[in-house]
Structure 1
Amino acid sequence: MPSWQPKASIPRTEKKSRTRKPRPRSLRLHGTVARTLGIRIVSGQITPGEILEGEIAASEQFKVSRTAYREAIRILAAKGLVHSRPKIGTQVSPRREWHLLDPDVLSWIFAGEPDDSLIESLFELRRIVEPDAARLAALRRTPEQLARMQEGLAGVGRHGFDSEEGRCCDEAFHSALLEASGNDFIMSLTSGVAAAIELTTAFKQQHLPAPHDALPVHLAVLEAIEAQDADRAHDAMARLVERGFQDTMEARDPANNAVGRRRAC
């Protein structure tokens, strides 16, 4: 049995909780233009190699200044989605150059219907990274990191995965776990992996009529990390990631929503 329950009061450490508040939804004009173009690119409406409209025509289309449009293009270029070519213009980059773990790019992917290959690739990455990160976290976690993981799941227990507050708490749990791995390269993936988890969870909640309760699977990971059982933490995280993949693929295909109701808990 876990040494704690998700709705129980969890002692706070002296260090302030890092659970993030919901992200603000307002965007400046150049951010709105970047988001619109970004969604069109990652969804395939604008394909790699295609040349975007010229600055004057595009600024008129979006009803923004040329300065705002240029700033939007700079945002997209920084994320690897476009590049400028002399005498040609702004061209959409090949997918291999996209910064797919950038939180904004991920949010643009999940703004529509992400294609199966991107979902499969995302979960392949999670299978590679997260189980071994959990193994390392079981061996290296500090009391403060463990307390943050506990607090994150306690927040999920209070708010649920179907609320933005609950998903932010889940993100805090995963972020603390990746940090607890003690590996700088794994930690460098934290913002991307945490954003991917938050977005896929929101996607599942939106598209599945009755998503399964994922909290017990998370608690199994936490229990193993609490016990400093590296192998059990690895295996529990592998099960969590696989369950997430199955649910996301089911949510991706509403026609099969009835399939998988026989899933094991």
Structure 2
Amino acid sequence: MLPLASASHRLAGAVARDIGIAILSGRSPPGTVLPGEIAAAEGLGVSRTAYREAIRTLSAKGLVESRPKAGTRVCPRGRWNLLDPDILAWAFETEPGEGFIRDLFELRQIVEPAAAELAAARRGDDHLDRMAHALDGMARHGLAVAAGRAADQAFHHAILEATGNAPLVALSSSIAASVTWTTIYKQRRRALPRDPLPEHRALYEAIAAGEGTLARARMAELIHLALADTELSMAE
């Protein structure tokens, strides 16, 4: 049996997820005033403590704001922390929209090729070991299952960590979440159209060889091909 504090935290997380999905799906658009704490907690069948914790979580992510006497209101989209891994997950639990998906790939094209070039110059043996281990996991499991996608996340995370740039490393969770959710999205109706492992291996080889310009180009090509795969899925 879970301790009460742990159970309450999980319940608050579930409430935050449900409200977050309602906001991201447009069912609770910006400007919507959420029900008062007592009514909302009763309607959801949770304690007021769990509901308050859920609202604090959503507020920290920029989705809502609470003011005395004004209640809790859904914030304008420009204030949402769209790179928060939870928000990315909630967005893909609905239909995220082609524009948002393309924006994620555009962000990756801005960040990851430059990161790959830095990683080629700065990586240590531990980074290379982690990349190689992640590639083995991708090959063993494939991207159709969670274990393979986790290995894919670990590969991209190791590259960002190899840059030694703290702000870039801080983006690693968001980039990894973006990689995972777009991978899930593009195979939601059919199997992946191709095996992306060769491009990952080619990128690893460029980083291991310290070839920064080549690593940049190979990362750009990897993302370009991933977007092409996703566009096929969007077209369906």
**Normalising to structure 2: TM-score of the pair?**
0.93
Counterpart Cα distance in 1 of 2:153 and 2:191: 22
What is residue 99 of structure 2 aligned with on the other side? 117
Shift in Å at residue 221 of structure 1?
A: 0.7
1:193 to 147, 152, 175: 175
Counterpart Cα distance in 2 of 1:208 and 1:249: 13
1:242 to 221, 224, 228: 224
What amino acid maps onto 2:170 in structure 1?
Answer: S
What amino acid maps onto 2:188 in structure 1?
Answer: Q
Shift in Å at residue 211 of structure 1?
A: 2.8
Query: Contact conserved, 1:137 with 1:225, CA < 8 A, in 2?
Result: yes
Alignment gaps of 5+ in structure 2: 1-8
What is residue 211 of structure 1 aligned with on the other side? 193
- Count of aligned pairs between the two proteins: 228
Shift in Å at residue 205 of structure 1?
A: 2.5
What is residue 210 of structure 2 aligned with on the other side? 228
Shift in Å at residue 210 of structure 1?
A: 4.0
Residue 186 of structure 2 aligns to a residue whose secondary structure is helix
What is residue 143 of structure 2 aligned with on the other side? 161
Residue 28 of structure 1 aligns to a residue whose secondary structure is helix
Query: Contact conserved, 1:156 with 1:167, CA < 8 A, in 2?
Result: yes
- Range with greater deviation from structure 2 (209-218 or 92-101): 209-218
Shift in Å at residue 62 of structure 1?
A: 0.8
What is residue 19 of structure 2 aligned with on the other side? 37
What is residue 79 of structure 1 aligned with on the other side? 61
Counterpart Cα distance in 2 of 1:250 and 1:94: 31
Deviation by residue 1:61-110 (Cα, 9 ceiling, x = unmatched): 21111111111111100111000123211011111111111111110011
Counterpart Cα distance in 2 of 1:120 and 1:228: 30
Q: Do residues 139 (structure 1) and 126 (structure 2) align? A: no
Cα RMSD of the aligned pairs, angstroms, is 1.3
Alignment gaps of 5+ in structure 1: 1-26, 258-265
Deviation by residue 1:235-263 (Cα, 9 ceiling, x = unmatched): 11001111222222332x3xx34xxxxxx
What is residue 3 of structure 2 aligned with on the other side? none
Counterpart Cα distance in 2 of 1:124 and 1:210: 21
What amino acid maps onto 2:175 in structure 1?
Answer: V
Deviation by residue 1:86-136 (Cα, 9 ceiling, x = unmatched): 321101111111111111111001112111221121111111100000011
What is residue 166 of structure 2 aligned with on the other side? 184
Counterpart Cα distance in 2 of 1:209 and 1:44: 29
What amino acid maps onto 1:34 in structure 2?
Answer: A
- Normalized per residue, the structure richer in helix is 2
What is residue 156 of structure 2 aligned with on the other side? 174
Q: Do residues 56 (structure 1) and 38 (structure 2) align? A: yes
Counterpart Cα distance in 2 of 1:199 and 1:193: 10
What amino acid maps onto 2:114 in structure 1?
Answer: D
Q: Percent identity?
A: 52
What amino acid maps onto 1:115 in structure 2?
Answer: G
